[in-house]
Amino acid sequence: MSAKRKTTVGVIFGGRTVEHDVSVVTAHQIIRAFDQQQYDVVPIYITRDGRWFSGEPLLDLKNYSDEIISLNGVTPVILSPGVQHHGLIVNPLAGRFSKSEIQRIDVAFPAIHGTHGEDGTLQGLLELADIPYVGCHTMASAVANDKIMTSIVLRQHGIPVVDGVHFSRADWLNDPAAIIDRIKAEIGLPVFVKPATTGSSVGIGRANDDTMLRTAIDIAAHFDRRILVEKAISGHVEINCSVLGNGENIRASVLEQPISWDEFLTYEEKYLHGGEGMKSAERIIPAPISDELTARIQQLAIDAFKAVDGSGISRIDFLVKPEENVVYLGEINTLPGSLAFYLWQESGISMTELVHQLVELALGAHAEKRRSSYDYRTDLINLAQSRGLKGVKGAKHGTSAAQSSS
């Protein structure tokens, strides 16, 4: 009896994003977690300037420097959008004395935080290639990665969010005084200023007065063309919850309360902990709040995940005033640092089991997608040939020339 073929998982990380280094750390946590008896893991590294590489040296975190792509065994690759390849074209610019090869990928595991990886961009490429992939699909990723769109969608679903004002960089540069007046009139000071689509606290700042507000908006506008300004909530604690699943089968983890000396976790607090990422940040698990409030937050997390049509895993962050029983949803992280596995450990799920479940969820989501038909045959091309393109513009799909002229 032949042994079962291993599943080949392509872990995609790095990328043209301000969270490049975070992505490398997360990817290596994921890579180390896979059971080598079940999976072959292919590292797929995207440089800061957008070049794609693969190879065994990329499996070792110690190799990461500006010279990593020059190491022996690191080869240029591209992810083919053609369904016939179902994976990577290795050495795509091969010349006379070498040739390109195809590296099949059974499941892709995106591990790029933020821009071009968590925002639906990479997911769209994987959809074109018809490769199953871990995590939220294109639309859910795009919405959840955009703080402005997230706020709009959650409000529509009755999920509490902090009051805010949003505007474009162009609006700010054109009339900063009008923007400041609008912020003060609609939500007042103090506020938090956020680029719409960055994560890991990059570009986020608090403003207590006009001068601080101008500076904070200038910083946020450096990272994004759209800016969200939210009312600062005093006397709150941050409570986080992870969700796992697809469709109607979604479950919530235990809750955590991150411990920070500031009013929000900085980039350094989240990730610069000996390469262990969010795993090693200080936190209280389970969060020291009532059972009733815990259940409410867990249900809000599930509701928010469903509202954006999420799949796979996410970590959902809340601002909570336990004494007043007040809860605001802060953000949905569709690729949380360390996959928020420390929250699932409390339920007896190891990192190895978590990545296995995520692959299974990816395969399930892909199978569900393939139940939809993408083939709708009509006689439109024949009609165009017989009547000329000019006469086809108003014709209905699937109708004959005689029907369309009657």
List the one residue out of 307, 282, 261, 340 whose CA is nearest residue 158. Answer: 307
- How many CB atoms lie under 10 A from the CB of residue 268? 10
| The two structure tokens encoding residue 155 | 């409000």
pLDDT (tens digit per residue) in 202-214: 899 999 999 999 9
Residue type (1 letter), 231 = K
Eight-state DSSP code of residue 9? E
- Structural domains in the chain plus CATH codes: 7-133 (3.40.50.20), 163-231 (3.30.1490.20), 237-369 (3.30.470.20)
pLDDT (tens digit per residue) in 25-49: 999 999 999 999 999 999 999 999 9
pLDDT beyond 70 at 261: no
Q: Contact, 21 vs 102, CB < 8 A?
A: no
List the one residue out of 276, 243, 239 whose CA is nearest residue 258. Answer: 239
Taking each helix axis from N to C terminus, what angle separates 147-156 and 291-307, rounded to the nearest 10 degrees?
110
370 or 291, which is more confident: 291
pLDDT beyond 60 at 321: yes
Give pTM, 2 decimals: 0.86
- How many CB atoms lie under 10 A from the CB of residue 219? 16
215 or 3, which is more confident: 215
- Please, which contacts does 189-192 make with residues 24 or more away whose CB atoms are closer than 8 Å? 189/213, 189/232, 190/232, 191/229, 191/230, 191/231, 191/232, 192/229, 192/230, 192/232, 192/264
As separate numbers, helices (DSSP H) first and strands (DSSP E) second, the chain gives 13, 16
Phi, psi for residue 233 in degrees, rounded to 5 = -95, 120
